[in-house]
Structure 1
Amino acid sequence: MDTMQKLAVPISIVVAGALIAGAVFFVNMNNATAGPADPGSGVVAEEIRGVQPDDHILGNPNAKLVIVEFSDTECPFCKQFHGTLHRVIEEYGGSGEVAWVYRHFPLPQLHPNAPKQAEALECAAELGGNELFWRYTDLLYQTMPQTGLDMGAYDVTGRSARTDGGQLVDMAAELGMDTAAFQSCLDSGKYESRVELDWNEAVAAGGRGTPHSIIIVDGEQIPIEGAQPFEVVKGIIDTLL
């Protein structure tokens, strides 16, 4: 039995859950709105990259099953799904069979601050590696209300409008980072292209909202749309392992 046949029942659960809960921020490239998920065909439009050396990963990089999540730090459903994927790693990460890769999918039409926040995550990774990337990501999701951070420190272009930074720098300080180096990294815009690469990849793969995740297993790629509950994600994983 091939992977898609095995997934017939779990995928139907995902479809039903998405239609009922609408647990995804929907994006139209011309006019972004919040709305229910379109579960799609269960096939990626264009395959994404496998695990890369510079990916942000929790778990075994050589795991049989890898969940690649494309996320927006100001999306409340992404915040919810962030906790779900932490539960997944707590349950399966120890065996080395499942890993989680985080990639960026900011939706500036809905969340104008999200692209700069994505760059901040990359700056954290530059200064402290994979561990500090995840600590900063966790803190950002924990700290940020659904209305987003106070980003008054940045002008409409997303560039720093004052030298003392703002909450992104404050959080860097809370985690013991060199705040001057962090501020310099953030002001430079050096990671705009990295964020754009992830964004373009998500769109090409069929991502229409956040969170958008793709499971890579046995050479196949299966999209999972929206903030699916832990029980649904667990059911899919158990079917595939």
Structure 2
Amino acid sequence: MEEQKTQKSIFEVMNPQQTFLFGLVGGVMLLCTIGFFILLGLFLKGGNIGSLSNNGNKDNTVVANNTDDNNKVDVNNGAPTNINVKAVDTKTDHIRGNKDAKITIIEFSDPECPFCKRFHETMLQVIEKYSDNVRWIYRNMPLDGLHSQARTEANALECAGAQGKFWEYTDLLYKTTNSNNSLDLTLLPKFATQVGLNLTKFNTCFNNKDFASKIQADEADGQAAGGQGTPYSVLIGPNGEKTAINGAYPFAQVEQMIQQYLN
């Protein structure tokens, strides 16, 4: 009589240690798979994520605004609706475009934020097309928790502004440098020379941190206005209407927001 053969499962031939390791590896692979599909779902939604605030909360995801039949833009869901922002001072604020324009965009920015660099290009397009109707105000909001060099670079921007070259220096810095603390800070005085600044005055201002209190005041203003990350901007209409631009909106979307006040 032949002996009946039985087929054992893999778990019957494994010792307890092997069974534990098998289960552990399987669990990790399952979690990785779930995480992959979660990230894939977020990506497919088309969200455009900005830099995070110092408190660790995710911020400045660009949300597609809804439009009504009149093609007017609604406030995006992720942005504050009650916005308090310091009034523009034409003597101390950095203003690009017509100083008396009926539409104002106040931007709070971090020079080490990659999304701020993207939005800088958007705002250059805005001013190129709407310089008579829009004025662009730049205020500082360095995120120290993410970008340890941002405050130093903000100080350099302000020192350039003290010699009337704020925008020239800012454009150069935003255009030619990478983000996330990759800039060699020894280049900051060289940028000053490139845009025609008095290097001695620049270095004195820069080394003394002459604008530290102004940068802190800008930060406080941005936070009071609802900003928790960068870029964060406030669009102000002709009658004081305020709308948050909570992230690196593309030009077409910002233009749509502007057009509702021009039509």
Bin of the TM-score, shorter chain as denominator length: 0.7 to 0.9
Q: CA deviation at 1:50?
A: 2.0
3-state DSSP of counterpart to 1:79 = helix
Matching residue within 149, 168, 180 for 2:183: 149
| Shift, 1:43, TM fit | 3.9
CA apart distance, 1:23: 3.1
SS at match of 1:80: helix
- Compute the displacement of 1:105 (Å): 0.7
Q: Which amino acid aligns with 2:162?
A: E
Instruction: Report the equivalent of 1:66.
Output: 104
**Letter in structure 2 aligned against 1:150:** D
Work out the CA distance in 2 between the residues paired with 1:37 and 1:45. Answer: 19
**Does structure 2 retain, via aligned residues, the 8 Å contact 1:72–1:78?**
yes
Give 1:180's match in structure 2, choosing from 200, 222, 231: 200
Following superposition, the deviation at residue 37 of structure 1 comes to: 5.5
Judged with a 3 Å threshold, the aligned counterparts in structure 2 of structure 1 residues 114 and 177 are, in CA distance, closer, same or farther, namely same
AA in 1 matched with 2:222: A
Q: 1:51 aligns with which of 80, 88, 92?
A: 88
CA distance in 1, matches of 2:77, 2:225: 11
Secondary structure at the counterpart of residue 106 of structure 1: coil
**Where do residues 137-216 of structure 1 align in structure 2 (5 Å cutoff)?**
137-147=170-180, 148-151=182-185, 166-216=186-236
Aligned counterpart, 1:125: 161
Change in 2 beyond 3 A, CA 1:35/1:68: closer
Q: Identity across aligned pairs (percent)?
A: 39
Q: Which runs of 5+ in 1 are unaligned?
A: 1-18, 152-165
The aligned length equals: 204
SS of residue in 2 equivalent to 1:25: coil
Q: Partner of 1:209: helix, strand, or coil?
A: coil
Task: Give the equivalent residue in structure 2 for 1:113.
Answer: 149
**1:92 pairs with 2:130:** yes
Q: Indicate the structure (1 or 2) with the bigger Cα radius of gyration.
A: 2
Gaps of 5+ in 2: 1-44, 64-75
Distance, in Å, in 2 between the alignment partners of 1:120 and 1:182 is: 8
CA distance in 2, matches of 1:76, 1:45: 27
Q: Which has the higher contact order (CA 8 A, sep 6+)?
A: 1
Report what 1:228 is aligned to: 249
Per-residue deviation, 1:34: 7.8
The answer to whether the Cα contact below 8 Å between 1:45 and 1:204 also exists between their aligned partners in 2 is: no
Cα distance in 1 between the residues matched to 2:140 and 2:210: 15
AA aligned opposite 1:51: V
Please give the alpha-carbon distance, in whole angstroms, between the structure 1 residues aligned to 2:57 and 2:190. 30
Task: Say which SS state the counterpart of residue 123 (structure 1) adopts.
Answer: helix
Deviation at 1:35, TM superposition (A): 7.8
Match of 2:169 among 127, 131, 136: 136
**Is the contact between residue 59 and residue 99 of structure 1 (CA under 8 Å) also seen in structure 2?**
yes
Deviation string for 1:30-84 (max 9, x for gaps)? x477884685564454411222121101111211100000000010110010010
Q: Is the 8 A contact 1:73 1:114 kept in 2?
A: yes
Aligned partner letter, 1:22? N
Normalising by structure 1, report the TM-score.
0.79
Find the residue that maps to 1:20 and give its secondary structure.
coil
TM-score (norm. length: structure 2): 0.72
